């Protein structure tokens, strides 16, 4: 593979991560600014979807919301290290698996940015059926989840290929 091809692949990978980060930033900025203007955390409400701003100081879906700055900083450092490791894994992978890892990286960088700048991640998408509410999440979480689902599916497909051989 030529140096030009490697550069094009690197640029495509970078563009994918940037687009995910950009979509995440735009959505979060919009919701946070709208919340600041109205001073109402519930921005939109419908039968199955609410846009309801909360500030998540924990990890995915508000888990490990610690409330102590030392533990928060340690958790942020661990998330940074894991994100860096996933970047290395993405670089070393090829095909669709690489793009699944890039989705995870783009989302992780979006949430890591918020953790560093705002000391919390704005979550605002609240899916519900009646009184049952799923965890409130954001656009970065969507890409992370889709990336993880694709990785699981790729592993299951690989396992099925190996078992039929």
Q: SS3 for 9-24, per residue?
A: HHHHHHHHHHHHHHHH
Q: Is 123 a catalytic residue?
A: yes
pLDDT > 60? residue 62:
no
Cα–Cα distance measured from residue 21 to residue 26, given in angstroms and rounded to the nearest whole number: 9
Per-residue tokens: 63: 């888990």
Average pLDDT over every residue of 145-151 = 98
Average pLDDT over every residue of 103-110 = 98
Q: What is the pLDDT of residue 72?
A: 80
Considering 50, 114, 123, 126, which one is annotated as catalytic? 123
Considering 24, 50, 114, 141, which one is annotated as catalytic? 141
Per-residue tokens: 115: 């953790």
Least confident piece of the model among 2-16, 68-82, 137-151: 2-16
Domain that includes residue 74, residue range? 3-163
Cα–Cα distance measured from residue 40 to residue 104, given in angstroms and rounded to the nearest whole number: 31
Q: Is 141 a catalytic residue?
A: yes
Number of separate domains in the chain: 1
Say if pTM beats, i.e. exceeds, 0.75. yes
Q: What is the pLDDT of residue 163?
A: 62
pLDDT > 70? residue 45:
yes
Q: What is the pLDDT of residue 83?
A: 96
Least confident piece of the model among 55-64, 136-145, 148-157: 55-64
Q: What is the pLDDT of residue 65?
A: 54
Mean predicted lDDT score pLDDT of the chain = 88
């Amino acid at each position: 593979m030529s140096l030009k091809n490697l550069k094009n692949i690197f640029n495509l990978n970078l563009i994918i991560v940037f687009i995910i980060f950009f979509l995440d930033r735009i959505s979060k900025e919009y919701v946070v600014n709208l919340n600041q203007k109205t001073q109402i955390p519930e921005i939109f409400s419908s039968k199955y979807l609410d846009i309801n701003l909360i500030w998540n100081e924990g990890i995915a879906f508000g888990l490990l919301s610690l409330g102590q700055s030392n533990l928060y900083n340690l958790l942020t450092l661990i998330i940074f290290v894991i994100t860096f490791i996933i970047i290395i894994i993405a670089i070393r992978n090829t095909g669709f698996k690489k793009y699944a890892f890039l989705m995870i990286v783009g989302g992780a960088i979006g949430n890591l940015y918020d953790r560093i700048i705002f000391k919390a991640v704005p979550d605002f998408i609240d899916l519900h059926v009646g009184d049952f509410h799923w965890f409130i999440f954001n656009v970065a979480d969507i890409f992370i989840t889709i990336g993880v689902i694709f990785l699981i599916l790729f592993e299951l497909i690989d396992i099925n290929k190996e078992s039929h051989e």
